[in-house]
C-alpha cells in the first residue's frame, strides 16, 4: 500500500455487494472505511476478519444512516481524521 493509495468510504459493507466491494478494493492496495450498523453482530464477522488481516488499510465504522444523532458529517470527519482524506464514496444499501 503506497501513501498515494485512494481512500474509499463504502456503506453497507457487512455483507453482499458492500462486502465484495471492500474485498476488491483492499486487494488492489487501497484504503477503506467500511460502515456497518453493528460491527459486533454475527452478520459483520467477515468484515471484522478482513480488518484483522488489513489493520492499516481498513477502518470499520458503526454507522446507521437513520440515526439522526450521528449525522453523515460526523462519519466523514471520522474517516478524514483517520486516513487524512476521502477520495471515493460507494453508497451501498442492502
- Return the DSSP state at 43: G
Phi, psi (5° rounding) for residue 56?
-90, -10
Number of domains in the chain: 1
- The runs of H, that is alpha helices, within 4-71 are 16-27, 45-53
The predicted-structure confidence for 1-39, as pLDDT tens digits, reads as follows 566 899 999 999 999 999 999 999 999 999 999 999 988
CATH of the domain at 25: 3.40.50.720
**Full-model pTM:** 0.92
Residue 2 falls inside a structural domain = no
- Which structural domain, as residue segments, surrounds residue 16? 7-90
CA torsion 88-23-64-45 (nearest 10°) is -160
- Indicate left, alpha or beta for 41 from its phi (over 0: left) and psi (-120 to 50: alpha): beta
Amino acid at each position: 500500500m503506497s501513501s498515494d493509495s485512494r481512500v474509499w468510504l463504502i456503506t453497507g459493507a457487512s455483507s453482499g455487494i458492500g462486502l465484495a466491494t471492500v474485498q476488491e478494493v483492499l486487494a488492489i492496495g487501497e484504503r477503506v472505511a467500511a460502515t456497518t450498523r453493528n460491527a459486533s453482530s454475527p452478520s459483520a464477522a467477515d468484515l471484522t476478519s478482513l480488518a484483522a488481516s488489513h489493520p492499516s488499510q481498513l477502518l470499520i465504522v458503526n454507522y446507521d444512516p437513520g440515526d439522526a444523532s450521528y449525522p453523515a458529517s460526523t462519519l466523514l470527519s471520522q474517516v478524514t481524521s483517520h486516513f487524512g482524506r476521502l477520495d471515493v464514496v460507494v453508497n451501498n444499501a442492502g
